[in-house]
A and B are shown apart, each in its own frame.
Chain A
Amino acid sequence: MTQTVSVARRIRRPAEDTSAFITDMHKLVPAVSTFKRCEFIGDSDEGQVWDVFLQSGTLYLGGRVAAHADDRRLAWRSMRGTRHRFEALVEDDRRGSRLILTLSYSLTGLGTARLTELLGRGIVARNLEAAAEEIRHHLEFEH
């Protein structure tokens, strides 16, 4: 079963600025400490290939991903490691913008995997919230 977790934050910067930052992984990744062990591997037919992880205690969630971006959206899907999809979407929000981070993941197994998936929702939500706050702060105060 796949679990999907979303968090949203309002950012006091125009959607164009937020999008330009979000859709460039070479800018985004160094500014977000929540993304651990990140490394650009290279370009492929499926997009940019990166190693990206979230760390939670003894566990590393993530792996190698293929990422692609368009105007207001960055998305990646796992190639190896934890099976997951990620999307960062930027919308207009009055005089600012709204950033929505969504991560879907699934674990392999039966009963304990389902239980771990449910417990993992909290871990993923807290990590996405931390990433969203770092992005917001960077755009509002450090950009």
Chain B
Amino acid sequence: MVESEIAEQLRGRDEDFIRTVLPTLWLAATVWFRAEVEGLENVPDEPVLFVGNHSGGGATPDTFVFLLAYNTFFTVEGRPLYALAHDTITKAPVLGPLTRRLGVVAAANSLAETIFDSGGSALVYPGGDVEALRPWRNRHKIVFSGRKGFLRLAHRTGVKIVPLVATGGHDTLFVLNDGRATAKALRLDKVARVKSLPLTLSVPWGLLPLPLPHFPLPAKIRMQVLEPIDLRARFGDDPNWDYAYDYVTSVMQVGLSTLASRTVVPMIR
């Protein structure tokens, strides 16, 4: 895509930089995570909203595995993929500018519409920090906490939802509790949009009551791109949002549980 066609806010994505980091991502994905990504042939040739389950605390290794798979399957010069992320990522020193060059942008509806208008696709994690920091025992559960903004965005802009499920990301650290009560008691949900403050066991921190960035354990990661969902075709011009939410999360739960059933020994295979 030529530079003049790209909206101002999206110009941080750097194709040359992505091309430079792909070999490193490939090495990490292949050697460390033995990653597998299947189903990319399900993605239609049009802007779509990828909706994923969020795992792995602050490291979210499956996001980088998917960036690798997407940018090699569709090529770096193909339809650009932008990942909508929390402010704590996009505004972080060092990490923010780096991830912006990979195509990570601040999660905002207006920006998502700009992405689709410019011919790009977007990746969102409706579960956000709550899902990324859910307890390990719930690692195979979709936890969107009732957030329906992604449905309204896809419906309003007329793009299809492409569900993306992943296992293994949540085996890269151990989240012992969700810490939602702690975050609420400290008013972090109001002050910093942080809704969970869990107790985690990770490298190099050990046991920690804060979700600091960690070094991910070498867990086996599997990802599956599911069939696209056309909200307008399925639910009409005026959807029952609760029903649409239940349907999409149910489809994703089936996909996630089916993917999890392929796990032979957790973390290893």
- Which A residues fall within an 8 A CB radius of B? 33-34, 54, 56-57, 59, 119, 122-123, 126-127, 129-130, 132-134, 136-137, 140-141
Contacts and interface: CB of A to CB of B under 8 A. Distances in A.
Binding site secondary structure of chain A = helix
A123 B264 contact: yes
Nearest to B263: A126
Q: What band does the interface of chain B fall in when counting residues whose beta carbon is under 8 Å from A?
A: 10 to 19
Nearest to B256: A133
A137 B258 contact: no
Given A57-B269, A119-B265, A126 B254 contact: no
Nearest to B266: A122
A59 B263 CA distance: 12
Given A126-B260, A126-B263, A129-B261, A134 B140 contact: no
B258 A136 contact: no
Interface string B245-267: 01100110110011011111110
B136 to A, nearest CB: 13
A68 to B, nearest CB: 26
B269 A129 contact: no
B264 A56 contact: yes
15 contacts: A56-B262, A57-B264, A57-B269, A59-B264, A123-B264, A126-B261, A126-B263, A129-B257, A133-B254, A134-B257, A136-B250, A137-B251, A137-B254, A140-B246, A141-B247
Contacts of B262: 56-57
Contacts of A123: 263-264
A129 B260 contact: yes
A42 to B, nearest CB: 29
B227 to A, nearest CB: 13
A140 B250 contact: yes
A77 B257 CA distance: 25
